[in-house]
Amino acid sequence: MTNRCVRTAVAAAVGVVMLAGCSVPVDFPSESASTPGEAGSAAFTPSATPTRTSPPAPVDPIEQYADDRLADMSLRQRISSLLMLHYPGTDAAQLRDFAATNDVGGLILMGDNIPEVPSDLATIIPQLSEDAGLPILTAIDQEGGIVRRLRTDEFAAASTLRTAPPEAARDAFHNRADLLAAAGVSVNFGIVADQTPDTSSFIYSRVLGATPQDAAARVAAAVEGERGTVLSTLKHFPGHGASPADSHSSIPSSDLPLADWSATHAVPFEAGIDAGAELVMFGHLRFTAVDTAPASLSARWHNILRDDLGFEGISITDDMLMLQDSGEPDFADAGLNAITALAAGNTMLLYVLPADAASLGAAPAHLVDVIEGAVGDGRLSEATINDAAHRLLVERRELSGQMGPYEG
């Protein structure tokens, strides 16, 4: 049974108990009551329909835990929990210290985090969280094929899956998810929901379909394959296939109208969301007919994702340092980029930090300082921080498998 099933069962059980104990007694005249006109009798007049008190809604133990823990966190801790960072190496103690010192909500594992014997990762990841009741998210780019951190992953990837039946994608990602879960990984940044028929496009070799419908069928199947084993991520919203350029060195741009986007690039993302994907990764992609800002910094695109596509999960940026790598002056300030990304609606900010992160203005403590300052001067609302932190607390608590109350 998955954590969500357990959570639902507990809430349902609480509701049954409440229902069983909330009946309201109603007095009716006995059959031997006096008839009208007899001494000491009174005619029975039907009273108004008795009021029945509705039972209180069942308490969701995960939501309650998140509420209570959030209330016990400082603003700085809440902000820190919105960061997913990279720290090099395979030393579990160093990785744990880095995560704890910076109070991060997640770590992304890159190639330099994979031990010489990949199966040894399973002994490292359980040591990364100080609190087993609230594990940090551990994420990895495991698409298969040309993008894989665990080299033992020999399962089918996009190059073959895009022309195979959707069931092949389900099986490949089911096996891939088992591999990741066995290593202790909780989040796979592995499902490319982009689509394009352009073989010269930077993203073509990684897409699961050249048409919206082909990609959608395989994206949904991939999510189904991962379900209940690791958290699935759809990337790169709103669709890297709309431009052939590489977002690692530029901000790809498209003038595609919103209506045309809805009929094409939106389709695989909708399919993945409907299949139950828990995360959506925002690309640093510019759709000028919708918003001149990159989607990762655009409130308009976040509203489209949530309001039009119905996504209720965690939104996370692609590596935020890619914005600076684009060379565009407007995105040279890492702190300002972080503020704008959170104000736009991202739940989590991703940073693949280099050794000289401070020289880029991206040292974790500095980022938290800048974001905290933006809350203080009103550029960023505390409610925005709280909403994002709460979403992450819920997801992390579910991953723990524990259902007890927060004890402080």
List all residues 6 or more positions away from 363 whose beta carbon is below 8 Å from its beta carbon.
357
In a domain, 49, yes or no: no
Q: How far is CA 189 from the centre of its chain?
A: 11
Give CA–CA dist 14/9, Å, rounded: 9
Rounded mean pLDDT, 114-125: 95
Predicted confidence at residue 4, as pLDDT, reads 52
In a domain, 55, yes or no: no
Q: What are 7-64's pLDDT values in tens digits?
A: 544 444 444 333 333 333 333 333 333 333 333 434 444 455 556 777 777 889 999 9
- pTM of the complete model: 0.87
In a domain, 366, yes or no: yes
In a domain, 330, yes or no: yes
Whether 251 contacts 284, CB under 8 Å? yes
The CATH number that applies at residue 312 is 3.20.20.300
The catalytically annotated residue of 291, 318, 319, 390 is 318
353-358 long-range contacts, CB within 8 A, separation 24+: 353/85, 353/86, 353/87, 353/321, 354/321, 355/88
Q: Is the pLDDT of residue 1 over 90?
A: no
Whether 223 contacts 193, CB under 8 Å? no
How many structural domains does the chain have?
A: 1
Rounded mean pLDDT, 374-379: 98
- To the nearest 10 degrees (0 to 180), the angle between helices 382-400 and 3-20 is 100
Whether 185 contacts 138, CB under 8 Å? yes
Q: What are 258-282's pLDDT values in tens digits?
A: 999 999 999 999 999 999 999 999 9
In a domain, 80, yes or no: no
Predicted confidence at residue 55, as pLDDT, reads 76
Q: Is the pLDDT of residue 403 over 80?
A: yes
3-class state of residue 85 by DSSP: strand
In a domain, 41, yes or no: no
In a domain, 183, yes or no: yes
- Mean pLDDT computed over every residue of the chain: 90
Predicted confidence at residue 45, as pLDDT, reads 45
248 has catalytic annotation: yes
Predicted confidence at residue 7, as pLDDT, reads 54
Which residues are bridge partners to 138 per DSSP? 107
Predicted confidence at residue 35, as pLDDT, reads 36
In a domain, 180, yes or no: yes
366 has catalytic annotation: no
DSSP H helices, 227-325, are 258-263, 266-275, 299-303, 321-325
The catalytically annotated residue of 72, 246, 248, 255 is 248
Whether 62 contacts 390, CB under 8 Å? no
- 277: containing domain: 87-400
Q: What are 224-262's pLDDT values in tens digits?
A: 999 999 999 999 999 999 999 999 999 999 999 999 999
Rounded mean pLDDT, 80-106: 98
Q: Can you say whether the dihedral through the CA atoms of 391, 394, 395, 397 is positive or negative?
A: positive
CA atoms in the 13 A half-sphere facing the CB of 187: 28
Q: What are 171-229's pLDDT values in tens digits?
A: 999 999 999 999 999 999 999 999 999 999 999 999 999 999 999 999 999 999 999 99
